[in-house]
Amino acid sequence: MKEQLLLLLFICTGLYTNAQLYITKTGFAGFYSKTPLEDIKAENNQVVAIIDTEKKQLAFSMLLKSFTFRKALMQEHFNENYVESDKYPKAVFKGSFTGDIDVYKQQVYNIQVEGTITLHGADKKITIPATLEMRNGVLSGMAKFQLVPQDFNIKIPSLVSDKIAKLIDVEIRVECNPKK
């Protein structure tokens, strides 16, 4: 009897905790580099995201080879020469956010996200504004920010440095469902 009660307590606690976790495997990450010589745009629709509204933590992970470009040669250069995706296959963000999220209230929350991006073997701490929106049980998140390739030891050869912006615009969008 005692073991059954403990098991029931464990299951109920686990269900409550899981109700605060929201996940997706189909999030969006995009980046854009605009220069007078060339615009570069890439998109990735295979971003894994987990948001814990109770602990105010979040994490994102993406395979760099999942970024698609309008030109195959751009994609090849990105993977082989810049991010070296065979050696550094993923970009990862782990962090926390400010503010309380009421999972039972349908509304938009303006938050600050603070954490560390790991890319190309380098870590960079960032703090950025973002939004979370609870709508019909789905937690959507969106953030736009800029990154500097050199902060991640990504070397841009001088021959093409005029074709790649010094600041890269990044956009993240996710729609996370409750973890079941």
**Which domains are assigned to the chain?**
20-178 (2.40.128.110)
Q: What is the 3-state secondary structure (H, E, C) of 131-168?
A: EEEEECCEEEEEEEEEECHHHHCCCCCCCCHHHCCCCE
The span from the CA of 47 to the CA of 179, in Å, is 16
The span from the CA of 44 to the CA of 25, in Å, is 11
Task: Assess contact for 117 and 128: CB atoms under 8 A.
Answer: no
> Quick check: helix, strand or coil at residue 17?
helix
Cα torsion at 161, 62, 102, 10 (round to 10°)? -150
Q: What is the pTM of this model?
A: 0.86
What digits encode the pLDDT tens for the residues 58-103?
A: 999 999 999 999 999 999 999 999 999 999 999 999 999 998 999 8
Task: Assess contact for 44 and 30: CB atoms under 8 A.
Answer: yes
Q: Choose among 145, 166, 177, 161: nearest CA to 30.
A: 145
Q: Give yes or no for residue 161 having a pLDDT over 90.
A: no
Q: What is the 3-state secondary structure (H, E, C) of 55-123?
A: CCEEEEEEEHHHCEECCHHHHHHHHHHHCCCCCCCEEEEEEEECCCCCCCCCEEEEEEEEEEEEECCEE
Q: Dig out the tokens for 111 from the structure.
A: 């938050």
| Mean pLDDT of the residues in the chain | 90
What digits encode the pLDDT tens for the residues 10-26?
A: 444 444 444 589 999 99
Mean pLDDT, to the nearest integer, of 142-155? 96
Task: Assess contact for 100 and 107: CB atoms under 8 A.
Answer: no
The span from the CA of 151 to the CA of 122, in Å, is 8
